[in-house]
Every structure is written in C-alpha cells, then in structure tokens.
Amino acid sequence: VEKNGVIDRWVKKHLVLYTGATRHPFILSIRDGTIDFSSFKRWLWLAVVMGIWLTGQDYIFVREFVPFSASVLLKASKNSDDNSDMEVILSGLASLSDEISWFKQEAAKWDVPLSDVIVHKSNQNYCRFLESLMLPAVEYSVVFTALWAIETVYQESFSHCLEDGSKTPPELLEACQRWGSEGFCEFCCSLKKIANRCLEKAPDEELKKAEVTFLRVLELEIEFWDMSHGGP
C-alpha cells in the first residue's frame, strides 16, 4: 500500500465531504457578502444569531477542544519520536487560550451571556466525539488526524472568506482573520506534516481508524455549520 502523503490522498478520495465542510453555504454567504446587513432589523437579528453561533456554541466547543488538545499533547510526550510535535501542539494550546479571551470579549460586545448558552445538539455530539478520542487507548496517529482535520476545516473555510474578490462584511472580518491568517495556515501545515509522518508508520488497521475519524470530523463540522440555519 502506498502510504506517502496519506492526508492528500484522503482529501482527494473524500473530496465531496471535504468540500462540504470547507465550503459550507454559511461560509459562502459570508464570503459573497450575501449575509444581509442592509436592513437594520435583519442586521440586528443576524447579529444575535451570529453572536450565538460565534461566541456561544464555539466557546462551548473550544472548552472541550482544550482538554482534547491536552490529551494529544500527553500522547505526544509518551509516543512521539519527534520532540518538535510537542511544541506544535503547545502553540495550538496557546492560541486556544487567546481564542477563549476573544470569545469572552465578543460575547460582551454582542451582549451574549456565555454562562447560560444552551448547548446545541450538534455541538453536544461533537463534544462527545472529542471526549471519546481522549481515551488513553486511542492511538496517537488517530487523534492527530482529528486535530489536523478540526483545525484545517476552520482554516480553509475562513481563509476562503479573505481571498481576492470576496465580499465579506467588515463586521465579520475579525473572526475570519482569526482562522484565515497566514500564521494559522502555517500551523495547519505543521499539523499535516506530523499527521502524515504518523500515518506513514501506522499499521493498516490503525490507518483505517484514522480515515474513519477524519470522515467523522468532516460530518461533525458540517453539522456545526448547519447550526447557523437555526434548525434542530
């Protein structure tokens, strides 16, 4: 089995689902500027919906993503044959700390109290999935694949909203820059290199598990974006 560049191979193989997660209609409506900010009433309504999405649900997600990342760090310290893995994961944790502060700041701006946000069912599923990956028995290559996929969906989505020709409303630029920045892109690239290195050495059964995990992340990210429709 050709195991070089596993990640690129999987992205190609599952391109429909991958594009579903990284080019979700919600993201496209930000990029095209078709999120309608022209009428104040609608703007206000959207601001509330957006506020809940940005600060509330993602805040809850990130509060679960921190211990997940810490569990990957722990596995790196025990299993990794490369010392620099730990530094990459640690830099991710540092940006999560920054992200939590930013969410709190946004919450105050939009007047969304973070303490009583109701966890959406899709988000709850996603958090449970992260919890299942934190078990010590889950292999390093599997959790690393998840870490890469989770971060990369956000990176690809928000950088798309900053590309030439995008009409992203100025109100949302700050959020887009958080995950669409050059620095975050480089971080995702480092994650990809590590994931590929681990997957190259993984036995077939583990490789299969990592692929299933990758697909599950894509599905959960799509369901996460779907919350912006306000549906169940």
Contact footprint for ligand HMH (CB under 6 A): 58, 61-62, 150-151, 154, 221, 224
Q: How far apart (Å, rounded) are the C-alpha atoms in residues 57 and 59? A: 5
Name the residues annotated as catalytic: 221
Nearer to ligand HMH, 122 or 202 (CB): 122
CB of 67 vs ligand HMH, minimal distance in Å: 14
- Assign residue 230 a region (left: φ > 0; alpha: ψ between -120 and 50; beta: otherwise): left
CB of 171 vs ligand HMH, minimal distance in Å: 19
Nearer to ligand HMH, 154 or 214 (CB): 154
- Assign residue 111 a region (left: φ > 0; alpha: ψ between -120 and 50; beta: otherwise): left
Nearer to ligand HMH, 139 or 180 (CB): 180
The residue type of 41 is: K
Nearer to ligand HMH, 191 or 202 (CB): 191
Phi and psi (nearest 5°) for 39? -90, 130
CB of 223 vs ligand HMH, minimal distance in Å: 10
Residues 6 or more apart in contact with residue 115 via CB below 8 angstroms: none
Residue number with the shortest CB distance to ligand HMH? 154
CB of 109 vs ligand HMH, minimal distance in Å: 18
Q: Residue 147: which of 77, 85, 56 has the closest Cα?
A: 85
Whole-number Cα distances in Å, 149 to 41, 62, 139: 37, 15, 16
